[in-house]
Structure 1
């Protein structure tokens, strides 16, 4: 496989994890950009990064950069993605890849026009366990999939000034953690939902603090989701069919799943499916991104991200929650 030069935008906590993964997989990182000179220098020294840029545009223009990794707040993703794609760079962007469906559709079309790979940083897309579970479902081992239940609850400190609750930075549970739950559900549905029912509790800043969401598609498959930024929940996903169900704990970085077979409605037996290492989650992301570039396609991941952001937009519309930049 070709050696790829990654350029990182942002030096926050997830960028630290990604830098460690890049060093582990590739042995080095080419460049990093951050407007804060002190943070930039400290990050570059800690991660042994060759080049430093205080201006992300200059790094994007660097002809030796192959892949741009974006780890900024949500509101900056759209512009950086466009700039990187227009500069001929592949892009790996942390979730939420954009703040609304209109922005997503534009960058998806741009990536297709340019023949470049654009991927969203949902770890569950890349965990080896998911390939095993999806094969199990696709092979009909659970029968006809009827119901998917998925939770994500995060307990953030009460702080109206934190980005998690800042409407100007696209805060709220839906974009910060709801994408994971929605991506999990969409991955096991046969088609995109066409019905969404939802209710929400708003935080005092006007963003969604917690919500309940029910989705249904034309095949009558149901999804039930619960999200919260002020109440911890287990990150648990369950896919239920006519022959059994599979439970995945800590699904974003899952390494084990319990499958319970109930085909005759009277007896049941279970087995544990294992794969991969949760601590290697971002290494799997790096490996997959580079494989996508080598193969010239992304295994359909961007199409799932397309459906996810359109679902999230539909939910937000029902809430009447709009960001200043929508």
Structure 2
């Protein structure tokens, strides 16, 4: 079987964790690229990477690379996805995969034209627990799906210069943490939401600090989402049906869930390991590439991005 050669574009904090995952799954990483050759070389030395490049452009011209993992801030994901695809590289990009639906549609169309795989590094789509829960829900375990509740509060330190609060760097709660919450809802919804209501409080820099979002689809399934970047809230998802409800705590990388039934029974569900969240993403991407599977999770990412576009439209900005 062909060994897939991975490259990392942007050796930051999350890239370090992802490098460990690639090595555990693939045994090695082929290349790393940074705007700083010194930083790239230090990263390559630490993770025993074969090639280190001092520019993204130079790295992407390396014909040996099969797939690029992009871990830069999401404000420039579009630019680097386009350049990777134009250099005939498959792409796995950190969330949020782009900053709006127009960008995502353009890169998705290019990937399709060039017969390349593109996917979002969204843990929700790859954790074994969620695949198991979705199968249980489809089998009627909790009856007809009615309501999803998701909360995510990440109390970021007050710092107007931080990228989380920067309008120029596409900061704000929605693109940073809201993408997890909406991805959770969409993963279990039968189809894309077609009704959206929302309200938002701005941070002083103009980005969204906290918000409430209500979604409904054509099957009358609903989701209520609470987000904040200046208060602590549980990362909790609750999926409710006619026969019971499923609670998932610390949902972005969850491996356990609890089902409470109407008759008082309680069932614990386990699948996968939280510590292997990034390994599951690497394994999934390898599978997509080796099996030339364009029917991956990208359609879910597109639905989520279109939902976020409508949310921001109602807030008065895109």
What TM-score does the superposition give when structure 2 sets the normalisation length? 0.98
The CA distance in 1 between the partners of 2:187 and 2:296, in whole Å, is: 10
Is 2:85–2:91's contact at 8 Å kept on the other side of the alignment? yes
Structure 1, unpaired ranges of 5+: none
The CA distance in 2 between the partners of 1:321 and 1:109, in whole Å, is: 25
Matched residue, 1:141 = 141
Query: How many angstroms does 1:37 deviate by?
Result: 3.0
Is 2:288–2:296's contact at 8 Å kept on the other side of the alignment? no
Instruction: Summarize deviations over 1:21-70 as a string: whole Å, max 9, x none.
Output: 11111111100011123322221111111111111111111000000110
Query: How many angstroms does 1:80 deviate by?
Result: 1.0
Is 2:119–2:296's contact at 8 Å kept on the other side of the alignment? no
The CA distance in 1 between the partners of 2:293 and 2:245, in whole Å, is: 31
Q: How does 1:106-255 map to 2 (within 5 A)?
A: 106-255=106-255
Matched residue, 1:19 = 19
The CA distance in 1 between the partners of 2:179 and 2:294, in whole Å, is: 19
Is 2:36–2:55's contact at 8 Å kept on the other side of the alignment? no
Instruction: Summarize deviations over 1:144-201 as a string: whole Å, max 9, x none.
Output: 1000001111111100000000110000010011111000000111111111111111
Is 1:207–1:321's contact at 8 Å kept on the other side of the alignment? no
Query: How many angstroms does 1:224 deviate by?
Result: 0.2
Is 2:181–2:225's contact at 8 Å kept on the other side of the alignment? yes
SS in structure 1 at match of 2:168: helix
Structure 2, unpaired ranges of 5+: none
Whether 1:73 and 2:73 are equivalent positions in the alignment is yes
Is 1:117–1:296's contact at 8 Å kept on the other side of the alignment? yes
Is 2:172–2:207's contact at 8 Å kept on the other side of the alignment? yes
Is 2:37–2:52's contact at 8 Å kept on the other side of the alignment? no
Matched residue, 1:296 = 292
SS in structure 2 at match of 1:143: coil
RMSD: 1.0
SS in structure 1 at match of 2:310: helix
Task: State which of 265, 283, 289 in structure 2 corresponds to 1:269.
Answer: 265
SS in structure 1 at match of 2:160: coil
Query: How many angstroms does 1:299 deviate by?
Result: 4.8
Q: How many pairs are equivalent?
A: 318
The CA distance in 2 between the partners of 1:300 and 1:67, in whole Å, is: 15
Is 2:256–2:270's contact at 8 Å kept on the other side of the alignment? yes
The CA distance in 1 between the partners of 2:13 and 2:232, in whole Å, is: 20
Is 1:68–1:91's contact at 8 Å kept on the other side of the alignment? yes
The CA distance in 2 between the partners of 1:112 and 1:245, in whole Å, is: 38
Instruction: Summarize deviations over 1:260-280 as a string: whole Å, max 9, x none.
Output: 122xxxx22011010111111
Pair 1:63–1:300, CA change in 2 (3 A): closer
The CA distance in 1 between the partners of 2:34 and 2:159, in whole Å, is: 25
Matched residue, 1:56 = 56
SS in structure 2 at match of 1:212: strand
What TM-score does the superposition give when structure 1 sets the normalisation length? 0.95
Is 2:41–2:53's contact at 8 Å kept on the other side of the alignment? no
SS in structure 1 at match of 2:19: helix
The CA distance in 1 between the partners of 2:267 and 2:113, in whole Å, is: 45
